[in-house]
């Protein structure tokens, strides 16, 4: 099933993101994560392509196939293009098709800092256009409520989203954010520029101080003072900090739901405890919204 069809059928879409294990870790670790998450029955699970632009497409395809063909949950495979040739992308599309995977998150990928970029694509919109010229995948795209680091301002970034939509992207997922007002401001700008595809809010429960510091460094997302106070209070109590992060994320999601967001994509960090507790905090509200249709 195309994820676009899920958005058409439901008032609120709730999904998860997981990532392939590092090259030094056993693939068995992700099998255990999937087994722990499968009974929660999210609307779909996305599988990342590999941190830092790494070439993890084989694991991405394998994991996506298991999600769909073993557990019967729709999946979306991430696909980056900055280091890829057209022939490599065609091969990947063929392999995904063989596994029955119908949904792709079209991404540029991280630009390598210490080597020349060699490939046929410069932007996610280039990849989306290339895919749509060859097959009938449903394409998702990413967006940035606080603005992409490569753009001089948020308005310019939102204008650039039009290129993705025109290239064939049918729904968007935001980078993680921790202040809902940033998301609402982003939605207003998107509406101003006639971007009318579903926009799913990306939410990550932060559960320890080092994770928070790493996320800020990698994503550039700002941490609200309210979250800093939580971190300062509970950072030395592992369990308390985890539950505080889950509570903050749950509060974020409930506010988003009350304001009519199209859905939430939960960045699980392959942590079943975090995913399950967040799911349990909001699932009755999810069911309530979807009964309204």
Active site residues: 17
In the numeric block, the tokens 């940033």 are attached to 182
Cβ neighbors of 174 (< 8 A, separation 6 or more) are: 142, 143, 144, 145, 183, 186, 199, 200, 201, 202, 265
Note whether 107 and 68 are within 8 A (CB): no
Q: For residue 80, what are its two tokens? A: 């980056």
Q: At CB < 8 A and 24+ separation, what contacts does 60-67 make?
A: 60/20, 61/92, 61/95, 61/96, 61/99, 61/101, 62/27, 63/18, 63/20, 63/30, 63/34, 64/96, 64/99, 64/101, 65/99, 65/100, 65/101, 66/31, 66/34, 67/34
In the beta sheet, which residues pair with residue 202? 265
The tally of CA atoms less than 13 A away on the side-chain side of residue 70 is: 12
Which runs of E-coded beta strand occur in 19-85?
Answer: 44-47, 74-80
- State how far the alpha carbon of 62 is from the alpha carbons of 222, 244, 277, 292, in Å: 34, 34, 27, 36
Q: For residue 255, what are its two tokens? A: 């506010």
Note whether 78 and 124 are within 8 A (CB): no
Q: For residue 76, what are its two tokens? A: 């979306």
């Amino acid at each position: 099933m195309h994820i676009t069809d899920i958005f058409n059928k439901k008032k609120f879409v709730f999904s998860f993101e997981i990532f392939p294990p590092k090259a030094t870790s056993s693939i068995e670790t992700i099998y255990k994560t999937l087994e722990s998450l499968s009974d929660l029955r999210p609307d779909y699970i996305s599988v990342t392509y590999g941190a830092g632009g790494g070439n993890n497409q084989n694991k991405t395809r394998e994991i996506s196939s298991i999600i769909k063909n073993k557990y019967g949950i729709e999946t979306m495979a991430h696909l980056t293009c900055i280091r890829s040739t057209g022939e490599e992308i065609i091969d990947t599309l063929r392999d995904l098709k063989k596994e029955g995977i119908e949904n792709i998150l079209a991404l540029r990928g991280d630009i390598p800092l210490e080597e020349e970029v060699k490939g046929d694509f410069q932007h996610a919109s280039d990849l989306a256009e290339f895919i749509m010229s060859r097959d009938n995948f449903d394409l998702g795209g990413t967006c940035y409520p606080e603005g992409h680091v490569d753009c001089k301002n948020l308005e310019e970034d939102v204008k650039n989203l039009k290129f993705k939509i025109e290239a064939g992207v049918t729904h968007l997922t935001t980078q993680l954010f921790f202040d809902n007002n940033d998301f609402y401001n982003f939605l207003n700008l998107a509406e101003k520029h006639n971007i009318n595809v579903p926009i799913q809010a990306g939410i990550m429960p932060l559960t320890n101080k080092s994770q928070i510091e790493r996320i800020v460094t990698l994503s550039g997302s700002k941490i609200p003072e309210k979250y800093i106070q939580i971190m300062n209070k509970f950072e030395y109590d592992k369990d308390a900090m985890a539950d505080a992060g889950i509570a903050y994320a749950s509060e974020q999601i409930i506010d988003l739901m009350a304001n009519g967001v199209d859905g939430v994509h939960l960045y699980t960090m392959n942590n079943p405890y975090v995913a399950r507790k967040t799911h349990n905090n909001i699932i009755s509200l999810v069911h309530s919204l979807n009964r309204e249709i």
